[in-house]
Amino acid sequence: MCHLTPTVRALQQAIPNGCSAKLLQPSQRLDIGLRALAGSQPMTALADDFDVSRKFVYQQRHKAQEALKQAFAPNGPPDDEVLFYLPVTKAWLQQVVLALILICRSSFRGAVEFLRDLFDCRMSVGTVYNIVQDAIQKARPYNTQQNLANVDIGAPDEIFQGQQPVLVGVDVASTYCYLLSPEKLRDAVTWGVRLLELQERGFHPRATIADFGAALRAGQELAMPGVPCRGDLFHLMQELEPVVGFLENRAYEAIAARSRLEQKQANQQRRQGRSDLVLSQKLRHARPAEDRAVNLAGDVALLVHWLRADVLAVAGPDTASRRELYDFIVAELRQRLPQCPHRLEPMCRLLANHREEVLAFAVALDQDLAALAQKFELPVTLVRQFFNQQWTDAKTPQRWQDDATFHQRLGKRYYPLKQALKHLARATVRASSVVENLNSRLRNYFFLRRHIGSDYLALLQFFLNHRRFLRSEHAERVGKSPAELLTGQPHPHWLEMLGYTRFRRT
């Protein structure tokens, strides 16, 4: 049904190539926008009803939508209206100083400037220092008295401030920082002493995960013999990927070199009518060199891809099969070692020396799958097949055909086992990403200070462990602090733990 008035039709017919949109009344434009918002009919049908284009219909819908937003937008108070009154006390100013330093990562002089410019309050740098020192004395007992028995998998690492090493340790599940200690050395003895001190507070993890630093691993072996230290796959791939990139760039350079020689030879033949013997000799060597470079780059890239996607993936075969595949990849890399020894030799040595550490996660995964198989009274092979099937691409039809087969075969055990396997996949730790994340946050504090000491780090450790997460990819962490996640027990706000009374609007 067309809603154009007879007058509009007459005008349109009188004007050659007339545009109906220009002749529409404001009420008709409003009608188009409202009907487009309602979605009661397709845009094409609505455009035909009014003899306009779909673009014009979308424009009217956008105008109507913006009008609705403005009509229902809350009218906020004027900028100069008093929202609430704040009782400024000495204790409140102390809380502001601590919040600026810990939440906003401000320097001492930044806190002084903030109070001067916004509150017309004069405070010396020495006063700020005294406020921080008082908070340190109150915070230190929370760090030293925390029971660490609930740490399941620890992630130790090292970070540097200038030339000073800082030993860091984080619980993977809760992100609780159980170690933040500045040291003169980062040798095995230092690591061993710190780990022994942690054991006095109940630190007995099932395993740890770290990079391939020799001192760290030797110190753990001294202090906690028998506790496996898994290899961090992130650091492993960080060592392998640059080699792949180097070989690919070298292959592109070989292709470009051969192409330039062929272009020069073609120009020589066009100008002189014959080939240049020197160029021909160079091309005779350039083409095989190009083939070798391209084949080597492709082979190494494929082997590294197999290592990452098949051997080191969560879904995959049992540990024995992974070891065989791992050794096969290392052997294939060794065969190609003479073609690029300065790059492939360190790669082969790294892979050969740390096979068991790298595959340690697979050993734990086999044990967990066996436990689930026993719990659900199923063969381990079936549980593993179901586990691997969950990682198949959801866009492939075979995924859902296999899923239906497992559903029929497992019956009532299908959904409980699926949830258990999903939880197992999330709990399988292959990288020390959590400690790398903490290190990135620590650097934001470290760059403000040339020298850091144990006092400042004690306050920083307390703050990071007792501040609550505003957001997280893990829903169970939102609104909770690492200390609450570790212990399962709530605690007051970190300012209240330091003896302050927080301001609350009445």
Domain with residue 157: its CATH number is 3.30.420.10
Q: Is the residue at 79 inside a domain? A: no
Range of the domain at 416: 361-427
One domain for residues 248 and 165: no
One domain for residues 333 and 418: no
φ and ψ at residue 384, rounded to 5 degrees:
-65, -40
Where is the domain boundary, 301, 329, 358? 358
One domain for residues 16 and 55: yes
One domain for residues 97 and 227: yes
The pLDDT value given to residue 14? 46
Q: Is the residue at 442 inside a domain? A: no
The pLDDT value given to residue 452? 65
Where is the domain boundary, 324, 358, 392? 358
One domain for residues 257 and 345: yes
One domain for residues 199 and 100: yes
Maximum Cα interatomic distance, the chain, rounded to a whole number of Å: 98
The pLDDT value given to residue 213? 87
One domain for residues 191 and 238: no
One domain for residues 47 and 165: no
Q: Is the residue at 80 inside a domain? A: no
In 148-291, DSSP assigns E strands to 153-161, 164-171, 177-182, 207-210, 229-231
Q: Is the residue at 245 inside a domain? A: yes
Q: How far apart are CA 67 and CA 65, in angstroms?
A: 5
One domain for residues 460 and 380: no
Which residues of the chain carry a pLDDT beneath 50?
A: 1-8, 10-12, 14-16
Where is the domain boundary, 341, 358, 375? 358
Q: Is the residue at 112 inside a domain? A: yes
Task: Write down the residue that tokens 């391209």 correspond to.
Answer: 294
What's the whole-model pTM score?
A: 0.75
Q: How far apart are CA 428 and CA 390, in angstroms?
A: 15
One domain for residues 196 and 149: yes
Task: Write down the residue that tokens 């992130």 correspond to.
Answer: 234
Q: How far apart are CA 289 and CA 155, in angstroms?
A: 45
Q: Is the residue at 443 inside a domain? A: no
Q: Is the residue at 223 inside a domain? A: yes
Q: List, in order, residues 6 or more apart from 312 with CB less than 8 Å away.
A: 233, 236, 358, 359, 430
One domain for residues 185 and 256: no
Q: Is the residue at 437 inside a domain? A: no
One domain for residues 279 and 332: yes
Q: Token pair for residue 229? A: 């230290």
Q: Token pair for residue 382? A: 């079936």
Count of domains forming the chain = 4
Alpha helices in 314-453 (DSSP H): 319-335, 341-353, 355-358, 360-376, 380-389, 397-410, 414-427, 433-446
The pLDDT value given to residue 1? 43
